[in-house]
Chain A
């Protein structure tokens, strides 16, 4: 075990201080140190997208970062979006459109989409497919995920009209 480092990371608006080994992945820090198991770990090499979180507002793979690198920075996980009984609009749309079966990929899908909707207009379904190409789902065949996101993007466009 190498020397630990003291870090303070703001996660979902709350500051957490911990002593971590430099090699501790951010994903494992969130899940094991903080108990925030909403962030899922699939491939651990940046391919599946299940562990996607927001770092200072930008989506990143939490398996391709070390917790020590998040020191004095802000992380948002799927737990920040809503809770049972008070889901946000995107989560509601996933529910309504049956955009998940086993749910393993869902946290990554939600966090990726949260960033995509901020940065891209997602005018066509192909834009959505392109945006989600770094997130693997082995159940749905993606169709219902695309529909759910389409519904939220269209409603957002209507609201701002």
Chain B
């Protein structure tokens, strides 16, 4: 239960971290909050020869606002996102989701970039990145690039990040006017990984949905958007028969696994129930904001 020996580099800039990562090759690993990485090191499931610590790169920890986006630095801690007034004002669904991320001691230390790069299929942040159409900024010694969240999560714990690349920032577009949101999750214990979670945003104009987004977590190899259910909703008011159709579309679209914590059938059932709750809350909030 102690990590194997490794060499340690405390990077003080992204360039320094990227250079160290390029030099270290496949054997080097970035450590940010370490809340998923250190357990893997303690169990010796991972034995990197070099650990590159980015915790001292202060320029990577920020939450800022532009005319169109909210930008979050990769080293921003979960607790900062949970309690940020900027996030609460523009992306309240994200503030709510963050309260479900693990426990305070983990939220104090764990980082946004780390959670996204880890890509746990039952975590809240990948699902939020999908819901909010996030763009991930990725740095390396070769070139910086930007990728959409929908192209980033490839499989369980597998993301579109090549050797030598570091997530540096995410950009979250602000939501359209009169958008309501909902978030619903079931876990065995507060702060545990979701057995299933659903989040929704509904933009409403003249009593009808003009944009619908539904994202789900814990129900497959990666978090997903429920595109079929989303398109069913556009152009209509959220009436009970429509909610039932959306729920059926969600259940048909996902392929959850059975594991120690829950059966595939139960997860599929939950995904539908939670989608219904998230949609109802989103519809109520969208109409309240119009009133």
Contacts and interface: CB of A to CB of B under 8 A. Distances in A.
Interface of A: 1-3, 5, 21-23, 25, 28, 44-46, 49, 52, 55, 58-61, 63-66, 68-69, 71, 112, 115-116, 119, 129-131, 133-135
A60 B105 CA distance: 4
Contacts of B106: 46, 61, 134
Closest 10 CB pairs of A and B: A134-B103, A22-B8, A45-B39, A133-B190, A58-B108, A2-B5, A59-B105, A64-B38, A130-B190, A44-B1
A116 B107 CA distance: 12
A135 B83 CA distance: 22
Given A61-B106, A133-B103, A69 B35 contact: no
Contact of A65 (B2, B34, B79): B34
B109 A64 contact: yes
B190 A22 contact: no
B186 to A, nearest CB: 14
A28 B1 CA distance: 12
A155 to B, nearest CB: 22
Interface of B: 1-8, 10, 34-35, 38-39, 41-43, 51, 53, 55, 79, 83, 102-106, 108-109, 189-192
Interface centre among A5, A59, A63, A129 (most CB of B within 10 A): A59
Contacts, number: 99
Given A25-B2, A133-B191, A63 B38 contact: yes
26 contacts: A1-B5, A2-B6, A2-B7, A3-B7, A22-B51, A23-B4, A25-B2, A44-B42, A45-B43, A46-B35, A46-B38, A49-B103, A58-B108, A59-B104, A61-B105, A64-B35, A65-B34, A65-B38, A66-B38, A68-B8, A71-B10, A112-B103, A130-B191, A131-B103, A133-B103, A133-B192
Given A64-B39, A64-B109, A23 B6 contact: yes
A112 B104 CA distance: 8
A46 B39 contact: yes
A30 B55 CA distance: 21
Given A22-B7, A65-B34, A119 B190 contact: no
Contacts of A55: 108-109
A15 B34 CA distance: 25
B104 A69 contact: no
Contacts of B3: 23, 25
A159 to B, nearest CB: 23
Given A64-B34, A133-B189, A45 B8 contact: no
Which residue, of A64, A112, A115, A119, has the highest number of chain B Cβ atoms within 10 A?
A64
B5 A61 contact: no
Contacts of A22: 5-8, 51
A127 to B, nearest CB: 10
A61 B109 contact: yes
Nearest to B35: A64
B8 to A, nearest CB: 3
A18 B83 CA distance: 36
Contacts of A112: 103-105
Nearest to A25: B2
Contacts of A44: 1-2, 42
Given A44-B42, A58-B79, A21 B5 contact: yes
Contacts of A25: 2-3, 42
A69 B55 contact: yes
B251 to A, nearest CB: 29
Contacts of B79: 58, 119
A44 B6 CA distance: 18
Given A22-B51, A63-B38, A134-B191, A119 B6 contact: no
A68 B80 CA distance: 24
B104 A116 contact: yes
Most buried by B among A3, A46, A55, A59: A46
Contacts of B108: 55, 58-60, 115
A132 to B, nearest CB: 8
Given A61-B106, A133-B190, 15 more contacts: A22-B7, A23-B3, A45-B42, A45-B43, A46-B38, A46-B39, A49-B103, A55-B108, A60-B109, A61-B35, A66-B8, A68-B53, A119-B83, A131-B103, A133-B103
